[in-house]
Structure 1
Amino acid sequence: MPQIVTLTLNPAIDVATSVPEVTPEHKLRCGPVRRDPGGGGINVARVVRELGGESIAVYTRGGPTGHLLEHLLEEKGLLRRSIPVEGYTRESFTVAEGHSAREYRFILPGPTLSEREWQRCLDAVAEVSVGAAFIVASGSLAPGVPEDFYARLAHQAKRQGVRVVVDTNGPPLRAALEEGVFLAKPNRRELRDLTGMKVEDLPTQAAAARDLVARGRAEILAVSMGADGALLTTRDGQVRATPPPVETHSSVGAGDSFVAGLTLALARGQSPEEALRWGIASGTGALLSQGTDLCHRADVERLFLQVRPERLSLT
């Protein structure tokens, strides 16, 4: 049984292409097209496999685009469990503008899931996570799914003795933290919303993160801070790490790559500090790839050696 189970309720076919310049009204002739299986949990599973770990991806799929998703996942060699749904799997696309090097990302809505369909997702995760170390619930909820879905998943996982990692936002994140999870990855804005505290600088961000951990919302809190790296908080202390400077080609999947590197290191028994280094290296590695490609193992291993974590004072 793989150590890591990922769940993607709203997967996507990620399409990436380029144009010389984005202009209104005119037909824009695109460059070569790349298609990848996407969505938070699927991206995490892809990176775990790239880094030599074992995972199984649980996800929904429907319609012709769902068949394409299956084909793309087969090409990636991922171990998987799909849940058929009535609606069509969504598509999302990224356009790189050659003249400015800007990136435009268009995220389409997914299909509406019935109660029977999202309940089957919970049941499937319960089946495949027996003996697993982690369940990673990542990405947005599909329309029709209740806001407390990830909280229900966390409650179910606790009965099985499996630790849950949550990477989402808004009410679904708040509900999951009310239930309590092993690890959560909010950004600075979400940290402010969750705590009601001002998080204008590192000391206030650190205090807000300690507050959530002290209240039992998460055993580990990894606050993503974009180019400033990430802040990892446990009951034993706080560590901050910044990414090494790289030339960014695409930001697609960088957050998912961070979660994958962090979770895989924890599954391998490494310390939270070392896991943060792997998370930063994986997220930074994704920036080096084009379009909807994700990080590559050689880049991650090289970048890992350049990440220097800094332990913070608890006062």
Structure 2
Amino acid sequence: MYAPIITFTMNPAVDTFGETERIFEDSKTRCQQTRQEPGGGGINVARNIIRMGTPALAIFPAGGLNGELLKQLLARDNTPYQSISIASDTRQNLAITERYCGKMYHFVFPGPELTKAEQDACRNALLEHQQLPEFLVLSGSIADCVPASFYGEITKKASALGIKVVLDTSGAALQGALYNGAYVAKLNRKEFSSLGYSELDDIATLRAQMREIMAKGAVSNLIVTLAQGGALLITESGEELAYMPPKVEIISHVGAGDSFVSALTHQLYQGKSLDVAFRYGVAAASVTVQTKGNQLYDLDLLEVTYKKTQPLA
């Protein structure tokens, strides 16, 4: 099938959410499972984008019983996908809310090992479509066995074909992906600090640091999200934008960054300006932290929050 937006998740997961009254250190903690969702950055992005009304295709490697469960969950959700078979098991992550204190504990497990042949199959699957997408979202982590240059190689090839690449990754994968022609990259403060900066610097210093790596050609447009919910953007033309959402009660941060990328990419595909798309991204993250699960469900609240999102001085 043709999709104008393709998302790729190198390290997908089945996300299991649960609740318990209290977590005990030295005895059984009995939990109630509240929901089970397909997980992983690009998969979350694709599901959100489809819900907003734009066709998308999620591509990912999958193996073992968890891989089969992941595909079943996507089929149940009517999410178009293309899976690449691997020998190792897809991971499962846990998010447990302790009702006693209202805190959520997010347990994230390492991904499966992929052979070189499986990695090559993933690369080929992204660019083998007869009609290429307008946007390619590379989202989420990569396993330790995958070269740090993996996303960078894909970004370079896709950009040369005229595809706008949206990057949302971290660690070695992020450092290997920058400076390869991506259209936009979204980083949080911790991810940005991994490039050699302090996470404690003030906003003015952060802006200067963003301009510094932009001048070196890291990416065409750079977004850095802030711990308090806002975000900064520096565009390829040198324009600097910053927005802050209204204060809300935070229930879970799971999927907030993916919702940001979802709304941003959806709005760009719809022909909106980078300013408008960026502001929608800030609003989408704010909506998602107010809900359980890993998805952007309340699109009416998204519109309300968008209108309440204000420029950050």
TM range (shorter): over 0.9
> Of the candidates 234, 248, 251, which is equivalent to residue 249 of structure 1?
251
- 4+ residue runs over 4 A deviation: 195-199
Amino acid aligned to 2:102: A
Secondary structure of the 2:132 match is coil
Q: 2:273 maps to what in 1? A: 271
Q: Which moved more, 1:54-63 or 1:184-193?
A: 184-193
Output one character per residue of 1:48-71: Cα deviation in whole Å (capped at 9) or x when no partner.
112112111000110111111011
- Corresponding residue for residue 58 of structure 1: 59
1:221 aligns to what?
A: 222
Q: 2:295 & 2:32 partners in 1: Cα distance?
A: 16
Q: Is 2:288–2:294's contact at 8 Å kept on the other side of the alignment? A: no
* Corresponding residue for residue 286 of structure 2: 284
Residues 15-55 of structure 1: CA deviation (Å, up to 9, x unaligned): 00000111112212212431000001001111111211211
Mapped partners of 2:211, 2:266: distance in 1: 23
Partner of 2:166: 165
Identify the range of structure 1 (221-230 vs 192-201) with the bigger mean alpha-carbon deviation: 192-201
- What root-mean-square deviation, in Å, do the aligned CA atoms of Structure 1 and Structure 2 show? 1.7
Give percent identity, aligned residues only: 36
Q: Which amino acid aligns with 1:232?
A: L
Structure 1 CA distance for aligned equivalents of residues 69 and 190 of structure 2: 35
Aligned length in residues: 311
How has the CA–CA distance of structure 1 residues 99 and 196 changed in structure 2, closer, same or farther, with 3 Å as cutoff? closer
What does residue 176 of structure 2 align with?
Answer: 175
Secondary structure (helix, strand or coil) at the match of 2:220 reads: strand
Partner secondary structure for residue 145 of structure 2 = coil
Please list, as runs of the form range in 1=range in 2, the aligned pairs for 1:116-131 lying within 5 A after superposition.
116-128=117-129, 130-131=131-132
SS in 1 for 2:17: strand
3-state SS in 1 of match to 2:234: strand
Unaligned runs of 5+ in 1: none
Distance 1:9 1:229 in 2: 27
For residue 70 of structure 2, what is the amino acid of its counterpart?
A: L
Task: State the alpha-carbon separation in 2 of the partners of residues 28 and 213 from structure 1.
Answer: 48
TM-score (norm 1): 0.94
- Structure 1 residues 296 and 129: alpha-carbon distance in aligned structure 2, compared to 1, 3 A threshold: farther
| Runs of at least 5 residues in structure 2 that lack an aligned partner in the other structure | none
Which amino acid in the other structure matches residue 298 of structure 1?
Answer: D
8 A Cα contact 2:164 2:182, kept in partner: yes
- Conserved? CA contact 2:11–2:140, under 8 Å: yes
Kindly provide the amino acid, as one letter, of the partner of residue 248 in structure 2.
V
TM-score with structure 2 length normalisation? 0.94
Q: How does 1:1-315 map to 2 (within 5 A)?
A: 1-128=2-129, 130-194=131-195, 196=197, 200-234=201-235, 235-310=237-312
Going from structure 1 to structure 2, the CA distance change for 1:59 and 1:146 (only over 3 Å counts) comes to: same
